[in-house]
Amino acid sequence: MSLALYPGCVIRTVHPEVEKAVKETLSRLGVSFQEKTEASCCAPSWFFSLSREAWLRLNERNMRIFKSTVVTACDDCFASLSDAFRVLASRNGVKPPEVKPFQALLLERLREVKPRLGFTGLRCAVQHSCRFLRPSGRGLDNPEDPKIVKSVLEMLGFLPVSYERELDCCGGFLSDENIGREMARVKAGSAEKAGADCIVATCSHCMLRLSPVSNIPVLHLAQLSAFSLGLDPVQAGFPEALLRRMVKR
């Protein structure tokens, strides 16, 4: 049964190489999927809190388009879609389609397929996205000690590095620019201080917020998984600085 793929509008426009990496990773792991280009924006709560009705109706249309299980590459879309589907399901009593974040699907497939992957030794600081961890009612990962992304990285042959500000917020959806930038700067600095080569995020807004202020490259988990499954690093969007470090390792 093929999954519906919904990479999210930020990835489709600002980070197309992440979309490429997601598709490559899924196909290399034998996951059949259909991209649903017809689906509209997931109306995330941070700007669609202006009108709850619009958020529900837009996602009602998306629900009709997806029909079966959906995999999303951005945790913000994951949260908005699954919350909307739950409210809609309870309103009209229909079973909501399951919404799976990319990292959860990746963990499952890696555990099943168990591919033999080389150890790259790349030290990665994980940027845990708040939408994926909280509210803890989602029951996907332990908000105080998240492990899913870290175990995926280990399976892919990378070295997850923990750092002091690991559970802090990246400042993602803030409208006041300088507060957001300050929070991102503190976080990126802490990751760099812990000796990480790159920051791995699973939500497009974390990437938008961290990339401009971080001295070390900010990548999506899919880019790393595509690379370790054999995709050419340039196509996966690896910056040269990172390539030089990996050669050094």
Partner 1 sequence: MIEKLREKGAGNPFKCVQCGSCTSACPVNLIQEGFNPRRIVGSLARFNRIPDQDPWLCSTCSLCSERCPQGVDPLSIILVLRAVLYENGGTAPAGVLKMVEQVKETGLAFSPTLESRERRRLLGLPEAGLSTEGLREVRRILSEAGFK
Partner 2 sequence: MRRVTVVLCTCCSTLLEKIDFDRLRSVFSSSPLVRRVLITDSLCEKNACENLGLKDDGRIVVAACSSRLLEAAFGKPSLVEFVNIREQCAWACGSREEATLKAIRLVKGGVQKALRVSQPPGVEGLKITREALVIGGGIAGVRCALDIADAGYRVYIVEKEPSIGGVMAQLDKTFPTLDCSICVEGPLLSEAGRNKNITIIPNAEVVEVKGRVGDFKVRVRVNPTYVDPDKCNGCGECVNVCPVYQPNKYDADLKPVKAIYCPFAQAVPLKYVINMDHCVECGLCMKACTRAAINLGDEPKNVELNVGAIVVAVGSDLFDPRLKPEYHYGEYENVITNMEFERIICASGPTGGVLLRRDGKPAKRVAFIQCVGSRESGPGIEECSYYCCAASMKEARLILEHDREARVFIFYNELRAFGKGWEDLLYRRCLEEGVVFIRSRPSEIRRIGNGSLQIVYEDTLTGRRGELEVDMVVLALGFKPSWRMVELARRLGVTVDKHGFIQEAHAKMKPLETRVRGVFVAGTCHGPRDIVESAVEGSGAAALVTSLFRRSSLRLPEAAEVSAEKCTGCGRCLSSCEYRAIVREGDKVRVLESVCNGCGACLATCPQEAITLGNWGLEQLAPQVSAMLED
Compute the distance between CA of residue 156 and CA of residue 186 in angstroms, rounded to an integer: 28
240 binds, options partner 1, partner 2, none, Cβ within 5 to 8 A by partner type: none
Alpha helices in the chain (DSSP H): 9-13, 16-28, 45-48, 52-66, 75-92, 102-113, 130-133, 148-156, 177-193, 204-210, 221-228, 240-248
Cβ at position 15, least distance to partner 1 in Å: 9
* Interaction partner, residue 142 (partner 2, partner 1, none; CB < 5-8 Å by kind): partner 2
Q: Which residue has the tokens 């990172």?
A: 242
Is residue 162 involved in binding partner 1 (CB under 8 A)?
no
Residue 96 binding partner 2, by CB under 8 A: no
Which residues have a Cβ under 8 Å from the Cβ of 38 and sit 6 or more positions away? 65
Q: Is 182 in the site for partner 1 (CB under 8 A)?
A: yes
- CB nearer to partner 1: pick between 154 and 168: 168
Kindly provide the b/e burial profile for residues 17-31, where b requires at least 16 CB atoms within 10 angstroms of the residue's own CB.
bbbbbbbbbbebbeb
Residue of 144, 175, 215, 244 interacting with partner 2 (CB under 8 A)? 144
Q: Please report, as residue ranges, which positions from 158 to 197 form the binding site for partner 2 (by CB under 8 A).
A: 164
Tell me: does residue 38 bind partner 1 (CB under 8 A): yes
Q: Is 233 in the site for partner 2 (CB under 8 A)?
A: no
Instruction: Please identify which residue in 61, 91, 111, 193 interacts with partner 1, judged by CB under 8 A.
Output: 61
Tell me how far apart the alpha carbons of residues 26 and 193 are, in angstroms, rounded to a whole number.
33
Question: Looking only at residues 63 through 102 of this chain, which bind partner 1 when binding is defined by CB under 8 A?
Answer: none
Closest to partner 1 by CB, 19 vs 197, is 19
Contacts with 213 (C-beta within 8 Å, 6 or more apart), sequence order: 181, 184, 185, 188
How far, in Å, are 91, 101, 123, 128, 151 from residue 114 at the CA level?
41, 20, 22, 24, 13
Q: What is the binding site for partner 1 (CB under 8 A)?
A: 9-10, 12-14, 16-17, 19-20, 23, 35, 37-38, 40-41, 43-47, 49-54, 57-58, 61, 130, 134-136, 143, 168-169, 171-176, 179-180, 182-183, 235
Q: What is the binding site for partner 2 (CB under 8 A)?
A: 142-145, 164
